[in-house]
Chain A
Amino acid sequence: MSEPKPAMKAKHQRLVLVAIALAAIVAAGLFAAYALRNQANYFYLPEQMSANPPATGQPVRLGGMVQTGSLERQADGITVAFVVTGSEAATVPVRYSGILPDLFVEGSGVVAEGSLQADGTFLATNLLAKHDENYVPRELEGLHGEEAAQQAAETVSYGN
């Protein structure tokens, strides 16, 4: 069997391959960087959300503390309303229909996934609360009222 005779020499084929691989990886990097830049607007603290609200309906995350005394269950039994507050006075009212995560309590941290509605309420589709006493959503690490978090030596890492 004789080698095929492509138009390129061996050295050139290697160069072309390296160039294509590099181009693809650089493209991946650029796509990723572009998409990630938009992610900077993905996570909001309450004060950021009141100062500079995201577009209505845009999927974002809101993270903060559930204000003590603000948790209210609606008559339908599945919708709850509560107020999320941050390190400053700013507050955002949140509505959520669903089963509250284990250990979701007033005065502790929560990350709500959802979108801001036209009336200024944050409609949450998913709540990420700590699911054991050590676990804190990493966005909330360091917020006040989270002394427990500081002692947290280990997180529940369910993928290890």
Chain B
Amino acid sequence: MNLKLKALTKSIWVFHAATSPCNNCDIEVLDLITPRYDVERFGIVLVGSVRHADALLVTGVPNYKTKERLKKLYSQAPKPCLVVAIGGCACGRVMFRDSYNSPCAVDEIVPVDVYIPGCPPKPEAMIAGIAKLIQKVRGQK
């Protein structure tokens, strides 16, 4: 396993890509940087610009407008870039599946690395998901 990926897993800078969510997942994401969970212990920081991002946190069901935005955001992020789908909507569009303004799911637009289901997922579930993502990047089972 090379140094590049090892350093990547030790300091994941995340960018928050909200593709029309109901804001519930976003609040739970912000819970992760509060004193109770404090993911800065693992080097995870929220960044403002997508050019600094190592992981995109996607929440919500993409509609016709945010679909294009998400595609652009992914192409603007420097590679290697990981994508995390947070919440039931981003994982599988749950009840918005047949809605008139839901053209496709997140994983039909960008390659998703880890799915974290829940409505909204608990912060513990998100930390578990990120731990699995790190294991996947390092090539462990």
Chains A and B are bound partners? no
Report B's interface with A, CB cutoff 8 A. Answer: none
